[in-house]
Amino acid sequence: MPRRDDIESILVIGSGPIVIGQACEFDYSGTQACRVIKEEGYRVILANSNPATIMTDPSVADRTYVEPLVREVLASIVEIERPDAILPTLGGQTALNLMMELVEAGTLEEFGVEVIGARPDAVAIAENRDKFKAAMEEIGLDVPTSGFARSIDDVEAIAERIGYPIMLRPSYILGGAGTGIVTNKDDLLRLARAGLAASPVAEILVERSIAGWKEYELEVMRDCADNCVVICSIENFDPMGVHTGDSITVAPAQTLTDVEYQAMRNDAFSCIRRVGVETGGSNVQFAVDPASGRRLIVEMNPRVSRSSALASKATGFPIAKIAAKLAIGYRLEEIQNDITRVTPASFEPTIDYVVTKIPRWAFEKIPGSVPELGTRMQSVGEVMAIGRTFCESLQKAIRSLEQGRAGLNADASERELDSIAIDELLRNITQATPERVFEIESAIRRGVDLSTLNALSGIDPWFLAQIARITEERRRLELHFSRVSDERLEAPSGDRARARAVLNLGAEELRRAKRLGFSDAQIAYLAGADEDSVRSERLALGVVPTYKTVDTCGSEFEAFTPYHYSTYEDEDEVQPSSRKTVVILGSGPNRIGQGIEFDYCCVHASIALREAGYETVMVNCNPETVSTDYDTSDRLYFEPLTKEDVLNVIAAETRANSLPSGPETKIAGVIVSLGGQTPLKLSHAIPSELILGTSPASIDLAEDRGAWSALCLRLGIQQPPGGTATTTREALLIAKEVGYPVLVRPSYVLGGRAMEIVYDDDGTRRVMDGLLGRSATSSRREELGSLLKEGGVSAERPVLVDRFLEDAVEVDVDALRDRDGETLIAGVMEHVEEAGVHSGDSACALPPQTLSEAVITQLESHTRALADALEVRGLLNVQFACKGTEVYVIEANPRASRTVPFVAKATGAAIAKAAARIMVGATLLELRADGTLPSDAVGTVKCLGHVSMKEAVLPFDRFPGADTLLGPEMRSTGEVMGIDTTFGLAFAKSQLAAGGGLPLKGTVLFSLADRDKPAGLEVAREFTRLGFSLAATFGTAAFLRDNAVPVETLVAKVGEERLAADAVDLISSGKIQLVVNTPRGRGSRSDGIQIRSAALASKVPCLTTLAAARAAAAGISDRGSDPFSVAALQDLHNFEPL
Amino acid sequence: MTTSTERGSEHGGLDRVPMDLSSHERERALLVLADGEVFEGEAAGALRDVALGELVFNTAMSGYQEVITDPSYAGQVVAFTYTHIGNYGVSKEDSESAHSFCNGVITRDITPQPSSWRATEGFETFLIANGVPAICGIDTRRLTRHIRESGAMPCAFGTISKSALQDVAESLGNFADPGLVDRVTTPTRYEIGGGPLRVAVYDFGVKRSMLGQLAAVATLNVVPANTPADEVLAWEPDGVFLSNGPGDPSVLEKPIAAASDLLGKVPVFGICLGHQIIGLALGGRTYKLAFGHHGCNHPVQHLSTGHVEITSQNHNYAVDVSTVRGAELTHVNLNDGVTEGMEMRSANAFSVQYHPEAAPGPHDSYYLFRRFVDEIESRRSRVIRGGPR
């Protein structure tokens, strides 16, 4: 059946902000879907609150609503746009849930909107544990059995039904109390009692234990004619018990015989047929008993998922694109495989390599979190690597993580691991953690046999044996190097001599190590040489990588999509190129501080440069992104972003640009300034003449404290006073000179890593000890461990100590400057939270709301002066702190900042595209002329008649025990945007979009730090004026009452033995609708943490700064009781589609 | 489960216990194609000196054991495009025949240690026990691309010199070995199965899984490839099944003649080589594909329903359906339009080029065995009702 003609317009729902469990994979899938259905001639209406997405670019859909993803707002959009159909299967769980809410509210029926992609009744079966179980049993498939218990009687009843062994898991617990596996009734009752007591909601999950079983996933597609295919099979390295999003996973499945695999495939098809997924992609998860092969169906997702993004990148089969086509009526065989161009999409990809995905966690960013993996997903991003063997792909994936590891051990970081006593190491291995794979290699190297490791970890012996191959190869190298160094005892020492050891290794030996994924850095570590020497010796031996192609078919058919990965084989498949080539280095795995915003910039660069006639080459290793879609750039290299791998790509592209027998032809250049810190850190490894845009020298100037201060002084721009220190003594001296509080932070880090505000000498000592690796507490050492791995403190990487400006307003300015020296101010953003809260965690408004014209003028002129002084060619971001009329510059980054997509969405100016063009020589004048920028974008991009608000989305609900307090270290995973006519409305929308909609009435609980009390008075009055009643803790209440503000409820903090209501009880019993709690400093955790935790658990909005509380009052006031109005970006910007 | 080498040792005070997991040191070996293309690798399996045969590549990611024991691969050297081969070892019940008939195996990597609760032995042990020579460490993707461009061709691999290997590969010349089916067919007839129907099976190299499908519903009389039709008819079968098998179908004079005699007399179902023999028996033409279809992911459309089946395939030859008397195209390969199935209504016969019994591969096409039974039963009921023979 060809495309449906009975519908004309389709509403696509995006997935909203990046949160743990729902990341930019849904931008990738949503963008693909929107493009496909638009190409097919439908009118596409898109709703998504996340401004950092490609899908919300005004050119992707016909109507783009950057609005909160809540039912009421969606209903307004439906009412305005009257779509014929709604496609909810490409925006994750968010979109699916919204669709179900719209169905239940009758909205879709009222406006005659058809659900395509997955029927509501199918979704209802897949999402409901009981219905799903019944449906599977009906078709003869086994599911894990479980039930929720609220009493000991319930526990017994469920246990009776499901049988032993039983896994007990109390709901919402901290630190695993009452969790465990039991095999008899006595243990069951004992543990269940503990669990019920530990759970704040007195609820416990009683489940037949399948921990330790093997876990698999199949990515399945079905069309309207009931044709079903498996796109990819995935086997988890970590067994059941670790969330699949937190597991290392491998494609294709490795240890299933064909008999077992086909039976699983049959089950998967039976499952989606029974659930009733009529068209599109689904993901079906299985658990397999390693001892008997018994197979259970664990769950299915009737939609495109994180795994399907991975499967798409792993196979080259674009699941989301095809799912969208199936939803509009096509059948699989009517769709062409883009890669081969001759075969249809109705087939099952076969691959001739191994794909490994490793999650990236951020435990070090979340104080109080425990780095243990379990059934709740905690990772914030992931990397994927491709190699011809598992060993190669695993080691490539590890170095893609950018956590200072050169591969599976054989680097400096292994020493700590190797120093752990064997008993402790083996104990550690029983618990899944981010370190476990390294611990296993260490254990194998120390002679622990694989059956022991299998018993302790549940990891399949196949994977363990493959790791043992890496260990074995390392042994051979070590043995060789030790022989060589013995021989060379007489020879002159020094790196040159030691590097010769590699040459002695011989090309064949070296190649064997490279084929198992060893990096030059690992070989250098083992040889006691430096990486550069190894590289040059390796090149001299002619051991260079070859690039193979991901083609869906194991090379059975010719591939037309140059999607490459490196490996050490005979044949290289990179085709010659005759156009000017620009290599764009991507941003690697999502992490806190570096996320989708940078992928957005890289994708825009690729689009803009392709339009301008360049051939673009993308290098990245993040499978969730649009940048790693095979048709975003002319060529895609799915590679780690390390010096070795990037230089190899540049060499391959140089070969492609050169005639076979002619002289070497250089590529046009490399873009390092759009992907965040990841590519920027590589700029010194790349020949400087190849770096496009602002010179590395200027980038260094902005980072080098001394030179930067001198520059500011010369330009007459004020900085907060401060200095650099490499010792605690120096830090104390600086603090004494500039006065407390001071901001202490390491240089060259991202997202405010380990940044702290300290108020006294003790604080300074504590922070410096931590940074110098001398911390007294092991948890603190752990927190900083990864930082130390990344380089630690040295003369080149000193600690910065600056006067902290209390109560200053922080401002971000983004600007563009071209080769002629013209500078365009793209956006001035005023932060809602005061200075001291990391800019990435702060809400900000564009245009600024409280700054005077004079201050704005000063900000702009400082920005221009800095842009000129740094000779910026492209983007510049400057952060300022404004106190009254005084403007201080905090830092400047001559690169893309995370605010770039927000500015672009707020103003309609495509500044990332413009920046890429500027880097290859275009001027702002030319960009205005060709329509890349608005024709009136001269001097400053014009702000239109609306206010845009960016709000951060924080991951605390994933980390029981974490403090929700904002500070100088960034914690947010994503952002949302609220657009409306006033500041208050835009703020209120942004809160709603971020998941904490503001109440319109009820009780506000105030608990303020002393220094905030005077300013808090006005805010409290405002809430009273708006009709709220107030509750307050003792000190705050006394202050408010003294100042004639009525406080109805007096609240005791936990531990306060007074006759008053308990804060936690009030919050959890639903008597508080909003919490304003401003604690002070770090360390004084006791005052507010229980209040904030209770608010988090009860999903009560909790504002931790007065500025946010003020903005909330404004929002509530502006909104009144009216529903939000909605507007499409196309109307706001009078956007003309290209 | 086959796990580690060093079992049972206390991990407590272990120091550095030497490991012996690895692949033993392998001897260097070369693979040389008839056109002179050379690949470097390492000797594996039962390789001694030299192995040779027609080179084909298979794109299945699982099912290496079924492939290696499929008699249709007789005379061929199979290169697996998937890199890790041997992951789950070998399980006795998954073999498609009692022996291995392929001339050799080419892989990128052989797993040193298998893992599966079903495994009865390791992959390389199996290769050695079955006398299958192998070469590993090969850039199998380069090899596959080369065959894709240049077509299937003879090859030789071994530990002897490059020039000697090349001489061997070239000497294979146009390699249509007419004796392949004779090598793999059963020497004597035998009966298996206990179903109510009676089906005669021509064994041209029949896979066990085909017999399994048929034996579930019929008593089978499995006969050698060159059995004349009258001998088969004398057993009074309800239907005749023509199996898969190796090599060029056009050289199989006796089986073609027997098929001519049988068609129209009893319902006939043919798979792969059996399908080609039916085509030839009805005056049709077969031809050789550039590099054949060998894998588990080929989309085949069933024309009468429009449904797409993902199929298991293993053939180098194909039938030109337009040349077959009374044949109607029923199944087509969506990748390249090759005939995958046909029906001869007047002869009461149907056949498919691909492998509905799978093993390895998807089970999407099991229905064809049911259909054969339906054909037989509907004819029986007609006969009983006194209809035309």
B37 is catalytic: no
- Which position has the higher pLDDT, A848 or A174? A848
How far, in Å, CA of A1004 to CA of A1020, rounded?
Answer: 9
Q: Which of residues 511-550 of A touch B (CB under 8 A)?
A: 548
> Per the structure block, which two tokens stand in for A176?
């695993």
Q: Name the residue with tokens 């026990």.
A: B129
- Domain for residue B1, yes or no? no
For residue A255, give the nearest of B116, B111, B119, B124 by alpha carbon.
B116
What spatial distance separates the first Cα and last Cα of chain B, rounded to whole Å?
55
One domain, residues B239 and B377? yes
Residue B160 buriedness (CB in 10 A; 0-12 / 13-18 / 19+): middle
Count of all residues that appear for chain A in the document: 1138
pLDDT at residue A502, as a whole number: 62
How far, in Å, CA of A632 to CA of A338, rounded?
Answer: 13
A921 confidence band (pLDDT: 50, 70, 90): very high
One domain, residues B27 and B146? yes
ipTM of the complex: 0.94
Half-sphere exposure of A376 (CA within 13 A, CB side): 18
Q: What is the pLDDT averaged over residues A87-112?
A: 95
How far, in Å, CA of A600 to CA of A596, rounded?
Answer: 6
The residue range of the domain holding B85 is 15-170
One domain, residues B331 and B234? yes
Contact flag B111-A465 (C-beta cutoff 8 Å): yes
Q: How far is A140 from chain B (nearest CA, A)?
A: 18
Contact flag B361-A258 (C-beta cutoff 8 Å): yes
Secondary structure of residue B165 in the 3-state scheme: helix
pLDDT at residue B2, as a whole number: 36
One domain, residues B48 and B146? yes
- Centre a 10 Å sphere on the Cβ of residue A186 and count the other Cβ atoms it contains: 9
How far, in Å, CA of B290 to CA of B285, rounded?
Answer: 16
How far, in Å, CA of A612 to CA of A922, rounded?
Answer: 10
Q: What is the pLDDT averaged over residues A892-907?
A: 95
- Mean pLDDT across chain A: 90
How far, in Å, CA of A118 to CA of A489, rounded?
Answer: 71
- Domain for residue B102, yes or no? yes
Among the options B272, B298, B315, B340, which is catalytic? Answer: B272
pTM summary value: 0.93
A217 confidence band (pLDDT: 50, 70, 90): very high
Q: A702-711, A761-770, A804-813, A1053-1062: which has the minimum mean pLDDT?
A: A1053-1062
One-letter amino acid for residue B321 of the chain: V
What spatial distance separates the first Cα and last Cα of chain A, rounded to whole Å?
31
- Domain for residue B175, yes or no? no
Say whether residue B358 is in contact with chain A using an 8 A CB cutoff: yes
A179 confidence band (pLDDT: 50, 70, 90): confident
Residue numbers in A near B16 (CB within 8 A): 445-447
Helix extents (H) in chain B? 64-68, 123-129, 140-150, 162-171, 180-184, 208-215, 229-234, 253-262, 273-281, 367-384
How far, in Å, CA of A180 to CA of A590, rounded?
Answer: 32
pLDDT at residue A377, as a whole number: 87
Peptide bond just before A17 cis, omega within 30 deg = no
- Domain for residue B2, yes or no? no
What CATH code is carried by the domain that includes residue B95? Answer: 3.50.30.20
Q: How far is A359 from chain B (nearest CA, A)?
A: 24
Say whether residue B15 is in contact with chain A using an 8 A CB cutoff: yes
One domain, residues B54 and B189? no
One domain, residues B86 and B192? no
**Which residues, in sequence order, are CB contacts of A776 under 8 Å at separation 6+?**
A769
Residue A43 β-bridge partners = A9
Residue numbers in A near B17 (CB within 8 A): 447, 449
pLDDT at residue A1106, as a whole number: 87
Domain boundary among B143, B170, B197: B170
- Most A CBs within 10 A among B2, B5, B11, B338, hence the mutation to make, goes to B11
Q: What is the pLDDT averaged over residues A534-556?
A: 95
pLDDT at residue A145, as a whole number: 84
- Domain for residue B143, yes or no? yes
Say whether residue A212 is in contact with chain B using an 8 A CB cutoff: no
pLDDT at residue A488, as a whole number: 59
Given a cut of 70, whether residue A470 has pLDDT beyond it is yes
One domain, residues B254 and B198? yes
Given a cut of 90, whether residue A660 has pLDDT beyond it is no
Q: What is the pLDDT of residues B79-121, one digit of tens each?
A: 999 999 999 999 999 999 998 999 999 999 999 889 999 999 9
pLDDT at residue A1, as a whole number: 62
> How many domains are contained in chain B?
2
pLDDT at residue B173, as a whole number: 74
One-letter amino acid for residue A465 of the chain: A
One domain, residues B40 and B120? yes
pLDDT at residue A489, as a whole number: 53
How far, in Å, CA of A49 to CA of A70, rounded?
Answer: 10
How far, in Å, CA of B376 to CA of B368, rounded?
Answer: 12
For residue A344, give the nearest of B36, B298, B39, B90 by alpha carbon.
B298
Residue A138 parent element (H or E): helix A129-138
B155 is catalytic: no
Q: How far is A344 from chain B (nearest CA, A)?
A: 7
> Per the structure block, which two tokens stand in for A699?
């980038």
Residue numbers in A near B11 (CB within 8 A): 422, 426, 448-449, 452
Cβ(A650)–Cβ(A582) under 8 Å? no
Dihedrals phi, psi of A227, to nearest 5 degrees? -80, 130
Domain boundary among B149, B170, B191: B170
- Domain for residue B164, yes or no? yes
Q: How far is A538 from chain B (nearest CA, A)?
A: 20
Among the options B54, B124, B343, B357, which is catalytic? Answer: B357
Given a cut of 80, whether residue A1080 has pLDDT beyond it is no
**Which residues, in sequence order, are CB contacts of A127 under 8 Å at separation 6+?**
A96, A100
Contact flag A346-B308 (C-beta cutoff 8 Å): yes
What CATH code is carried by the domain that includes residue B272? Answer: 3.40.50.880
Q: What is the pLDDT of residues A946-981, one digit of tens each?
A: 999 999 998 887 776 677 777 888 889 999 999 999
Contact flag B81-A292 (C-beta cutoff 8 Å): no
Residue A781 parent element (H or E): helix A778-789
One-letter amino acid for residue A742 of the chain: V
- Which position has the higher pLDDT, A977 or B382? A977
CB pairs under 8 A between A and B: 221
One domain, residues B133 and B195? no
pLDDT at residue A176, as a whole number: 58
> Residue B270: left (phi > 0), alpha (psi -120 to 50), or beta?
beta
Residue numbers in B near A445 (CB within 8 A): 16
Nearest Cα residue in chain A from B364: A266
Q: What is the pLDDT averaged over residues B172-183?
A: 82
- Domain for residue B389, yes or no? no
Residue A354 β-bridge partners = A387
A14-24 exposure pattern, b = at least 16 Cβ within 10 A, e = fewer: bbbbbbbbbbb
pLDDT at residue A207, as a whole number: 86
- Mean pLDDT across chain B: 91
Contacts by A1105-1108, CB closer than 8 A, 24 or more apart: A1105/A832, A1105/A833, A1105/A834, A1105/A837, A1105/A966, A1105/A1078, A1106/A1008, A1106/A1012, A1106/A1015, A1106/A1016, A1106/A1019, A1106/A1076, A1106/A1078, A1107/A832, A1107/A833, A1107/A834, A1108/A832, A1108/A833, A1108/A843
Cβ(A436)–Cβ(A428) under 8 Å? yes
One domain, residues B52 and B164? yes
Q: How far is A461 from chain B (nearest CA, A)?
A: 6
Say whether residue A348 is in contact with chain B using an 8 A CB cutoff: yes
For residue A316, give the nearest of A110, A93, A147, A555 by alpha carbon.
A555
- Which position has the higher pLDDT, A782 or A441? A441
What is each CA distance from A66 to A15, A53, A60, A964, B343, in whole angstroms? 11, 10, 13, 26, 58
Crossing angle of helices A1013-1025/A1106-1119, nearest 10°?
10
Q: What is the pLDDT averaged over residues A1044-1062?
A: 76
Among the options B124, B309, B355, B375, which is catalytic? Answer: B355
**Which of A376-385, A608-617, A1072-1081 is most confident?**
A608-617
Task: Name the DSSP letter for residue B152.
Answer: -
pLDDT at residue A504, as a whole number: 80
Q: What is the pLDDT of residues A6-54, one digit of tens each?
A: 999 999 999 999 998 888 999 999 999 999 999 999 999 999 999 999 9
One domain, residues B20 and B42? yes
One domain, residues B185 and B328? yes
- Domain for residue B8, yes or no? no
**Which residues, in sequence order, are CB contacts of A49 under 8 Å at separation 6+?**
A14, A16, A17, A66, A67, A68, A69, A976, A977, A978, A993
Q: Which of residues 424-443 of A touch B (CB under 8 A)?
A: 426
How do strand A669-671 and strand A581-585 relate by DSSP bridges?
Answer: parallel
Contact flag A472-B22 (C-beta cutoff 8 Å): yes
Say whether residue A1063 is in contact with chain B using an 8 A CB cutoff: no
How far, in Å, CA of A752 to CA of B279, rounded?
Answer: 74
pLDDT > 90: what percent of chain A? 70
Say whether residue A316 is in contact with chain B using an 8 A CB cutoff: no
Q: What is the pLDDT of residues A259-311, one digit of tens each?
A: 999 999 999 999 999 999 989 999 999 999 999 999 999 999 999 999 999 99
Residue numbers in A near B108 (CB within 8 A): 352, 388-389
How do strand A166-170 and strand A204-208 relate by DSSP bridges?
Answer: antiparallel
Domain boundary among B135, B170, B205: B170
Using DSSP, how many helices (H) and how many strands (E) does chain B show?
Answer: 10, 19
Cβ(A307)–Cβ(A286) under 8 Å? no
B204 confidence band (pLDDT: 50, 70, 90): very high
A503 confidence band (pLDDT: 50, 70, 90): low
Q: What is the pLDDT averaged over residues B351-361?
A: 97
B375 is catalytic: no
